[in-house]
Amino acid sequence: MRVLITGAAGFIGSHLCDRFIQEGFEVIGMDNFITGSPDNIAHLFGHPKFKFIHYNVVNYIYLEGPVDIVLHFACPASPADYMSHPIHTMKVDSLGTLNTLGFAKLKKARYVFASTSEVYGDPTVHPQPETYWGNVNPIGPRSVYDEAKRFSEALCMAYHREHGIDVRILRIFNTYGPRMRMNDGRVIPNFITQALKGEPLTVYGNGEQTRSFCYIDDLVEGIFMASVKDGLSGEVINLGNPQEFRIIDIAKLIIELTNSNSKIVFYPPLPDDPKRRCPDISKAKRLLSWEPKKPLREGLLETINWFRKKLKDA
């Protein structure tokens, strides 16, 4: 079996490359390193089952030979990243989705799309089931990501309905773990880096907003199962950890786990920042017999160790 993974040098993409290779797949990884890093896949270079192509999927894609599964995971994913690359973000989840879907059609491959909890916007239904249509500001600063992901979902379903492509849309909620970029702007890398450097932890707004954090290994397990299992064509599945935390409590926990003397400082809230977010994962449990296993404290400790080492090497 041969898979194409776009965004292969990214946080999630690189872990997916590892997992598919471990399972005996041949992996073709693509990335243009806008937010991904060669460091994340350096250990795979020279591996007989891994091939890397430095490429921007916004352009027409062609590869020789059979491909069984296409996983489209390329896209700046942190709010800071997608707001600093707004047009590129929209291209990779419109033209990039179109190109990868067209490629899947040509190869008669299964197609797995990395969607996001951001399709629910600032949700008015809690927790969010897949049947919820969302509450997205179409012209706000986050819309470049949210609307591109929603457009991509619509494209996946159009290819599914018109061409019978076996598509699976995975709505991925907040995920954390080793290989996140220290400066990617997301809450966990920010807080850990700040705590380790003894700098103040920057809470946006009053910190009462909530998120639910899934450890990378749990997420990758869910994505792998959703990719290889038969009978899921046209399904939309939430993947995330349903344990919900206030951001202020995450800040306090990270200060505790790093033994840091850092203080917490409050900044103005970000525009359109969702106030609550928590996945309803009953569908993933039913279809994949999957649920996250790693408790937050444990996952954070592993992530802290990884960041500590990165800071030492920097």
Where along the sequence are the contacts to ligand UDP (CB under 6 A)?
78-79, 174, 185-187, 190, 202-204, 209, 211, 247, 270, 273
Nearer Cβ to ligand UDP (81/166): 81
**159 is annotated as an active-site residue:** no
In the bound state with ligand UDP, the residue whose beta carbon lies nearer, of 85 and 211, is 211
Closest approach of ligand UDP to the CB of residue 7, in Å: 17
Closest CA to 5 of 190, 308, 224: 224
Cβ at position 279, least distance to ligand UDP in Å: 12
Cβ nearer to ligand UDP, comparing 85 with 110:
85
DSSP 144-190: HHHHHHHHHHHHHHHHHHHH---EEEEEE--EE-TT--TTS--HHHH
Comparison of 159 and 176: residue with beta carbon closer to ligand UDP: 176
Place of tokens 């949210």: 146
User: CA 202 to CA 200: how far, in whole Å?
Assistant: 6
**Shortest Cβ distance from residue 172 to ligand UDP (Å)?**
11
CA 156 – CA 98 distance, rounded (Å): 9
CB of 240 to ligand UDP, least distance (A): 11
Catalytic residue among 82, 145, 159, 176: 145
Q: Rounded to an integer, what distance in angstroms lies between the CA atom of residue 193 and that of residue 92?
A: 29
**C-alpha 75, offset from chain centre:** 9
Catalytic residues: 145
